[in-house]
Every structure is written in C-alpha cells, then in structure tokens.
Amino acid sequence: MLRKYVKLTDKHSRTYGECQWGEGVEHTADGEGELCSEHWIHVYEHPLLAVLHDPIHGKFLDDEGARLWECESDDDNPKRDGQMKLGIRHLCTVQQIPIPEITFEQRVAYAIHCALHVYIEPVFVDWAEKWLTGEDRSRHATSDAAYAAYAADAAYAAYAADAADATYDADAAYAAGAAASAAHAAHAAAGAYATHAAHAAHAAYAAHAAAGSIDLAAIAEQVCDTFYW
C-alpha cells in the first residue's frame, strides 16, 4: 500500500550528501541505526509540519528556492520521532507542491497550543490565553511567562536526576518556555522564533508521550486554518 508523504529539498532538488530528487525519482536506504543518519530517508506526514519543524531539522527553508515534494512510499514500517518527522526505506518524489506560507503569529500559536497540551502552570496558561486572544502580547508579559516556565524546567530537570518519571514534567516545562521564547523573539525582530516554535512542539510531543498521543498535524491545521490530508 502506497502512503503519501512530503519532503523538503534545496533549490536544486537535493538533500544532504548531494542526494538528487525530482519527479519520479526513487531512492532506498537500509533502515539501520538512528533516525538522524544516512540510513533513513527523512519525510513528513504533513506539509505544515514540514515547514514548522524544518528550523530544527534540515533548515532547507533558510535558503531561497527550497522545494517541497509530494512523495509516495510502500514502506509500511517507518521509524518515527512521533509526528516531528519520519524515516523510511524507500521513497519516490512524485511532484513539487507549493510551500505553505506560515506567519509569525501562526508559528507562535502552534507552539503555544502544543505547550498547553502538557503544561498547566497558571502563570503560563494565563499568558498563553491572553496571547492567543490578542489581549496581551507585550514584551513584559511574554518575558514573565518564559522565565516562569524555564524556572520550572530547571527544577524538574534537577529532580529528574533521581526520578526518571520527572522527565515528563521537564519536557512539559521546556515546551512552555520555548513557546514563550518564540513570542519573545519577535519583540527583538529575531528570526529565532521559528526555531523556538519547533522546539516547543518537539518538547510537547516528548512530554505527552508518557500519557498518549498529541496530534501535531491537527494543531497545525487549526492555527493555520489550512487543511491538507
């Protein structure tokens, strides 16, 4: 059964190691070892996730002319990093598709919604709700939320040295801190907000893994008001 994925490449339709892609081009990998290696072909399940997570993965979108490809694979056992990205053994790039345009506000909203799935500290939740509604997006409020979340992150991380299950809380706090940092970076006109937003999603996924799945694609579609498959 063929499954549909998407893949980012540079403007020459290449990925790392000068691997060339294009319409109807197929490649295989041996599927050994870790996901972040040449042994797996990296793909995403959703165009929005490809764009949202690229800042902490391939960083193809840092360069002008990057391309997004609709792909097909018959690999029914991919190696997963949740919905952050996947590794498969066989892939065919079918056709180039438009790269979704995602605004700063949508990236930050994505980060915040991810964090709210796993982090319920009152200072952060109050700030998050006001940011999402537009009631308060000030630098001062954003700084308070980031500092509160990262303070909790540090406390949980210290406790995790003696209790493995504390990792769940540490990841949740990091997700919140990264979400607030994504918003805070905008006040300094810093491009880092995209990276913070992607880190927030990854940390939220890691935190939520202990309790169940978190649907990153659904969150992305909600905040971007764009639906694919």
pLDDT in tens, 34-73: 888 889 999 999 999 999 888 888 889 988 999 999 999 9
Is 0.95 topped by the overall pTM?
no
Can you tell me the distance from the alpha carbon of 92 to that of 108, in angstroms, rounded to the nearest whole number? 33
Instruction: Give the H or E element holding residue 97.
Output: strand 90-97
For residues 115 and 200, membership in a common domain is answered with yes
Q: Which of 97, 119, 146 lies at the terminal end of a domain, its last residue?
A: 97
For residues 57 and 109, membership in a common domain is answered with no
Q: What's the domain range around 192?
A: 104-224
SS3 of residue 54 by DSSP: helix
With a CB cutoff of 8 Å and minimum separation 6, the contacts of 134 are none
The total domain count for the chain is 2
State the pLDDT confidence band at 228, using cuts at 50, 70 and 90. low
- Does residue 229 lie within any of the structural domains? no
For residues 134 and 167, membership in a common domain is answered with yes
Q: Which of 45, 78, 97 lies at the terminal end of a domain, its last residue?
A: 97
Residue that wins the pLDDT comparison between 41 and 121: 41
Q: Which of 97, 127, 142 lies at the terminal end of a domain, its last residue?
A: 97
For residues 92 and 132, membership in a common domain is answered with no
